[in-house]
Chains A and B, each alone.
Chain A
Amino acid sequence: MFRMVSIIAFLVAFGGICVHCIASAIAKRYQWRPIDILKTLVHLFTLFFCEQKLRWVGVLRKLIYLLALLCFVVLVITGFYPVLVYGEQLGGFLLMLHATFAPVFAACLAVLAVFWADNCRFNKNYWPWLQRALGREAVNKAGVKKYELAQKMCFWLIVILALLVILSIVLGMFPLFGTDGQKFLLNLHRYSTLLLALAAIVHTYLIIRIQMER
């Protein structure tokens, strides 16, 4: 069941991203010449670098984000590979790798939450319909960047899901839950991880889009 749900979810997520990429490229009349594709790829690659104008806090934030991204990739591969490919539970060396990267990811996520939370606050510009309903002054639509709202929503979703993911696995390590509780926690971990992975993929994609749009 979980295997099928995961496969469909990942296909939909990556398919959606691909469709969106192509659609926006067509809308922008993107030239599909090899040189343009190479330029785009180089641009994408440069996103991994720290900008020179960043202060040490910004550099730290970026490094932590990149570390979190690396951990995320390792966790997704070790966690989903045996499930999606073999239909088996996570075990063996993959489990050890998973458990090694998991606390690093958790710590990075906590730090990023602190760093990013203020920037990811919603303001009145995102809800023009609400402003109108309350009879308040017109919002400044120009102040809202493209993909900003979706990216912020993904961020808060990631924070909530991460809390669920970490708690569901760490509580199982304490003698609090019996076998049924353990099974519930394991399923909660699986499904919340799937959602977290999807949210993180979309969030990363949106960040890249925002950076590319600049």
Chain B
Amino acid sequence: MRKGLLVTGILCWGVFVSFAKADTDEKLLGDVGDGSRAIPVHLIPLVDEEGTKISPGDEPLLPFSMRQTCDLCHNYEKINRGWHFNAAEPNVAPGRPGQPWILVDAGTGTQIPLSYRPWPGTFRPEQLGLTPWQFVQVFGFALLGGGVGELLDESDNPDEVMRGFVSGKLEVNCLSCHDADPAHNQGEYAIQVAHQNFRWAAAATSSFASVSGSAKSMPDTYDPFMPDMLDDLKLVPPTVVYRENTFDHKKRVFFDIVRKMPVERCYFCHSNVNVDQGGEEKWTADEDVHLAAGLTCVDCHRHGLDHDIVRGYEGEDKVSKNPLAATTSCEGCHMIGRLGALVPRHPGIPPVHFDKLTCTACHCGPWPGQKTYRGKTSRAHRLGTHNVNKAPDALPHIMFPVFANQGGISDVYLGRLVVLIGNRKIAPHKLIWPAFWGWLKGKKVTPVDLETVKRTAGRIIDNKKLSRSGDWPSLADEDIAKVLALLKTTEGEPVYICGGKLHRLDNNGNLTAIEHDVARPYLWPIAHDVRPAAQSLGARDCEDCHSTDEPFFFGEVEVDSPLTSEMGSIKRMIEFQDLDPLYTKLFAMSFVFRPWLKVVALGSCAVLAAVLLLYALRALACIARALVGGDPKRGKGRLGTRED
């Protein structure tokens, strides 16, 4: 009896699981191609969040829901598990470390890398006290929606649940990438997120809808589906207006949707600026050589319906389900000349370089200077959004290129991070030095949540004049000591991490600094912009890297810190490469003697060859004499003097 129940239970569970899987993997009308390379025209009805088709005369007029509108033909749930949306899913392989979100607060001396992905060196947002709701508010400007943006109603905080009802969820905004309409306005998305108009954000980016009002200013009881007259007439509820002639006679709307999106769509979230070389002036910087050649981002960063995009690093196929992950990398194209890629010869470059360096080490990023450059990125500095701080010193401070050993490629098994490939090749990286307040317990440092820090550290640091440029406030050791004294609780010993060190108070109340793992910088590899072959490292000669004053090994990496006592400190590039500095220095010095080595070696070869040639000719003469001379009794038998 009990056995029968067990078997029945297992069978039922199996059937349930298979149905559930079938449901999420279901392929809809637009998910299966017929082979045509033509672009399907997206003349479709708009559907609101509740699944009702939108008509121009609706009252109230609601914004279209991407989930409901696109889900008519595309499996939204499947798409929502793609790389751009699945960061918060615990079982997604994190792969190679990537760019984190960076929480910045100059007023508390905070600059800390965050990620829902378990990349070593990053912190989970909840460690800083950020709920998904708060996370979306801070970083939603560059989120494509979905994932964390749809976890808002799962909050434990009833206030956030209420606010979530007013503002809606931040659904996947398919238009962020796939809208080829030149009037698409992704900057508007950031504005709507700032107003907590999550439900309206996607519509606001389209060319045919405009959104006004702010959900943020609405009371918790506001119902956007049945809006009442507000008591405060100054408050403007979030409202959408569709442009005239948006709907055709069948109430359908044209979306200029493309599979192969223009690079500008990607650039909104993936722009990079070299502050020290031209800065924001685009005309002074060269673009990636692939884009200059006519390719687009998605020619390499491909994916299918599941949006499991190819990130393009070596070894990605170990963690990615994308069938193109193994072949869509630098080598994937350049070793076979795919898409017209040049097949490199690398003349004069010993093959050991390919075991120790990634392709990007020589070909990507700016030509390294004696000191690392400061960089800005869209996601860290809100580039492309309204009222962005354009000051070059604005936080966070990102240094690049840092030639460092790559972190490994990781996967998650049973909730634990497992390093699959300990890839120790040297690659160019971007780097930030974490700066935050924490509690030290044993050897572990836990970040103090930002609200607590603001309450304590803010009081001390706010007295300092914060820089208008968004740079660090100038903090003295005494300021840190005062804050640490205020932070003393039972949670642990208060510490401040910055400049690659852990700062703590000694028994006399003085500030001391020690090395600690948690203070180590977070680095993520860069793969763009790719320089042409003629401008790659090593294109001129070996001394591009193997010289005692070249930046590849001995360049200065700026150590960023708000502490005035630590400003201007540097580390050498080699400290990030797991190499013996003495050996590397001696090896670099040996290249001074390399021309001599070549001369001696070639000279020796010349002598050896001459000796060989000389005696080979003499041997040949002997043979000739022997063959022509005949009987040696008749004389020397020189050639032509034979008598018989």
- Which A residues lie at the B interface, using CB under 8 A? 89, 91-93, 95-96, 99, 102-103, 106-107, 109-111, 113-114, 117, 121-122, 134-137, 156, 159-160, 162-163, 166-167, 169-170, 172-179, 181-183, 186
Contact = CB atoms under 8 A, between A and B. Distances in A.
Contacts of B602: 170
B598 A134 contact: no
B612 interface: yes
A178 B583 contact: no
B608 A173 contact: no
Contact of A110 (B349, B590, B596, B607): B607
Contact of B597 (A95, A102, A137): A102
Contacts of B350: 172, 182, 186
A144 B298 CA distance: 78
Given A96-B587, A96-B590, A107-B600, A163 B605 contact: yes
Contacts of A135: 631
B601 A89 contact: no
Nearest to A111: B607
B605 A170 contact: yes
14 contacts: A93-B583, A103-B597, A106-B605, A110-B603, A114-B607, A114-B611, A159-B612, A163-B608, A170-B601, A173-B597, A178-B346, A182-B346, A182-B350, A183-B351
Determine which residue in A107, A163, A177 has the highest number of CB atoms from chain B within 10 A of its CB, and name it: A163
Interface residues of B, number: 38
B282 interface: no
A159 B608 contact: yes
B611 A113 contact: yes
The prevalent SS among residues of B at the interface is helix
Contacts of B632: 136-137
Given A172-B350, A178-B347, A182-B349, A159 B611 contact: yes
A201 to B, nearest CB: 20
B347 A176 contact: yes
Nearest to A106: B604
Contacts of A93: 583
B348 A176 contact: yes
The prevalent SS among residues of A at the interface is helix
Contact of B352 (A89, A96, A169): A89
A65 to B, nearest CB: 15
Determine which residue in B349, B600, B626 has the highest number of CB atoms from chain A within 10 A of its CB, and name it: B600
Contacts of B612: 159-160, 163
Given A99-B597, A110-B607, A121 B349 contact: no
A162 B598 contact: no
Contact of B349 (A102, A117, A179): A179
A178 B349 CA distance: 7
A162 B608 CA distance: 8
Contacts of A172: 348, 350
A121 B586 contact: no
Given A163-B605, A176-B348, A179-B349, A103 B600 contact: yes
B615 interface: yes
Nearest to A92: B583
B465 interface: no
Contacts of A170: 597-598, 601-602, 605
Nearest to B587: A96
B414 interface: no
A99 B604 contact: no
A95 B350 CA distance: 14
Nearest to A176: B347
B348 A186 contact: no
Given A96-B586, A169-B601, A170-B602, A179 B354 contact: yes
A134 B618 contact: no
Contacts of B618: 121
A168 B602 CA distance: 11
Contacts of B611: 113-114, 117, 159
B20 interface: no
A94 to B, nearest CB: 10
Contact of B348 (A91, A107, A163, A174): A174
Nearest to B589: A96
A106 B348 contact: no
B596 A103 contact: yes
Contact of B608 (A113, A136, A174, A175): A113
Nearest to A121: B615
Contacts of B73: none
B347 A106 contact: no
B346 A134 contact: no
Contacts of B347: 175-178, 181
Interface string B479-518: 0000000000000000000000000000000000000000
Contacts of A137: 632-633
Contacts of A169: 601
Contacts of A99: 590, 597
Contacts of A177: 347-348
Given A99-B590, A136-B632, A178-B346, 7 more contacts: A113-B608, A136-B631, A156-B615, A163-B609, A173-B348, A173-B597, A178-B347
A110 B608 contact: yes
Contacts of A175: 347-348
B575 to A, nearest CB: 18
A166 B586 contact: no
Contact of B600 (A106, A117, A178): A106
A166 B601 contact: yes
B351 A166 contact: no
